[in-house]
Each structure stands twice: as structure tokens, then as C-alpha cells.
């Protein structure tokens, strides 16, 4: 059977493909590339799970196929959990290439934490993984990765806030890790491995 990845973020796609590949699914995983008329879904919910469900549901309805979506972001302790669901839009930069947008977001968080000492630079990545079926059945799970924020970006891998995020128990940022190392511990890995059982049941 076939599963559609309901995301326009080109950096999430390889991570999702590799995580779903490792759980040994006998399923064809498609991107949105073949669906130029797929709707843009406004992330109007206040939670990661709410927004992930909105995105998965819209694409399952549009394609008539099971769809999975990822809504994710960074919660910073010293910013009372912000940017949270606003992570992709934090700097207010829209329409730009994802790379530029991500760099502006990361710089803004570093500026906001300029006076925050190491022991108060805790943060966590969160990922909600949603599965929606054309008949209306839905599942959603969350994964979290705790860590802390550096004062300077380090590393070229990954995307978004990876260059400033060091997972608890590690010294490298997630942008300095290989894709395999990151997927093994990441919020996205945790969430999609938990969802895999439901995906597998699609046959
Ligand atoms: P879609 O909605 O089309 O999937 P998006 O990039 O808009 O793409 P989100 O709304 O889920 O996705 O925003 C997630 C943002 O949170 C993302 O742009 C990054 O800035 C950040 N983020 C999420 N996962 C991350 C990760 O693994 N590493 C670094 N930053 C991450």
C-alpha cells in the first residue's frame, strides 16, 4: 500500500523516509511532489498534535490515501516554552527559502538567550507524528528530546535549530551528528517509531 508524507519541508523528508525505512514497513512512501494541487494547511491549532492532525487529515482527504504529518518545534525553558508551535515562524520570515528562514529563527533565539547562563539554557525538541486515513481514522503520538542550547551555531547537518541544540548526555549538536545518530535519539525518531505500529497495520 501507499503512504503520503504531508510535509513541504524538504529537510524532514529524508529523516522521515529513513526512520520509516528502518522500522521495516512494506509500504511505498510518497512525497507531496506528485500532488501539485494539495492544499496549504494553516497551522491554526495551539498544540503540536492538533497541527499534525490538521496537516495529515487535509492530505488524506485530498489524495484519498493514508497520510502522515509531522508538526515539530523547539521549546526553550528560559522563554517559557516558546517558540513551540511557532518555531517555523518565530522570526516572522515568510515565503523565504527554508534555509534562510531557519537561520533567522536560530539567530533570534540566540539573541533572546544572550544573557542566559549555561545552567539555564535547557530546551527540548518536540515532534507530533499523525496518521490520518481517508475513512476518518486518526492516530497521533508525541516524541521529545531534552537538551540545551549552545551560544554559537555548530555543524552543518540536519536543519532548523539543530546547530544550537545539544541533546542531554551528548557534547555534539544534532547538526554535528550523522543523520543516523540523530534519528536514533530524535523527537522525530521517537514519535514515528511509536506510530509505526499503526502504519504497519495498513498492510
Ligand atoms: P511542514 O509543516 O510542511 O511539515 P515546516 O517546516 O513548516 O514544514 P513545522 O511547522 O513542523 O514544519 O515547523 C517545525 C520547525 O521546528 C522547523 O522549521 C524547525 O525550525 C524546527 N524543528 C523541527 N524539528 C527540528 C529538528 O529535528 N531539528 C531542528 N529544528 C527542528
- At residue 27, φ and ψ (nearest 5 deg) are -140, 140
As for how many domains the chain has, the answer is: 1
State the alpha helices, DSSP H only, in 83-130: 98-112
- Strands 122-132 and 28-30: what pairing? unpaired
In whole numbers, what is the pLDDT of the chain averaged over residues? 95
Residues paired with residue 140 on neighbouring β-strands, in sequence order: 130
138-188 pLDDT, tens digit per residue, is 999 999 999 999 999 999 999 999 999 999 999 999 999 999 999 999 999
Pocket of ligand 1 from Cβ distances under 6 Å: 7-9, 12, 43, 70-74, 87-88, 102, 105, 125, 158-162, 174, 186, 188
- Find out whether 150 and 71 touch, Cβ atoms under 8 Å: no
- The region, left, alpha or beta by phi > 0 then psi within -120 to 50, assigned to residue 81 is left
50, 88, 174: residue to mutate for ligand 1 pocket, most atoms within 8 A of CB: 88
State the CATH number of the domain containing residue 172. Answer: 3.90.950.10
**Parent domain of 51:** 2-200
Confidence of residue 30 (pLDDT cuts 50, 70, 90): very high
Predicted-assembly ipTM surpassing the 0.90 threshold: yes
Amino acid at each position: 500500500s501507499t503512504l503520503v508524507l504531508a510535509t513541504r519541508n524538504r529537510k524532514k523528508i529524508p529523516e522521515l523516509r529513513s526512520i520509516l525505512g528502518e522500522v521495516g514497513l512494506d509500504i511505498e512512501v510518497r512525497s507531496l511532489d506528485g500532488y501539485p494541487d494539495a492544499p496549504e494547511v494553516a497551522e491554526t491549532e495551539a498544540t503540536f498534535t492538533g497541527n499534525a492532525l490538521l496537516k495529515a487529515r487535509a492530505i488524506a482527504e485530498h489524495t484519498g490515501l493514508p497520510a502522515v504529518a509531522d508538526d515539530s518545534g523547539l521549546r526553550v525553558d528560559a522563554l517559557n516554552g516558546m517558540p513551540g508551535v511557532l518555531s517555523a515562524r518565530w522570526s516572522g520570515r515568510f515565503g523565504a527559502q527554508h534555509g534562510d528562514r531557519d537561520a533567522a529563527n536560530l539567530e533570534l533565539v540566540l539573541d533572546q538567550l544572550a544573557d542566559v547562563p549555561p545552567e539555564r539554557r535547557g530546551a527540548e525538541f518536540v515532534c507530533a507524528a499523525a496518521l490520518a486515513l481517508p475513512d476518518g481514522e486518526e492516530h497521533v503520538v508525541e516524541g521529545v528530546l531534552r537538551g540545551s542550547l549552545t551560544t554559537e551555531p555548530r555543524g552543518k547537518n540536519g536543519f532548523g535549530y539543530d546547530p544550537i541544540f545539544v541533546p542531554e548526555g551528548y557534547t555534539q549538536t544534532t547538526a554535528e551528528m550523522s543523520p543516523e545518530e540523530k534519528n536514533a535519539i530524535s523527537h522525530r525518531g521517537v514519535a514515528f517509531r511509536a506510530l509505526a505500529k499503526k502504519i504497519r497495520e495498513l498492510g
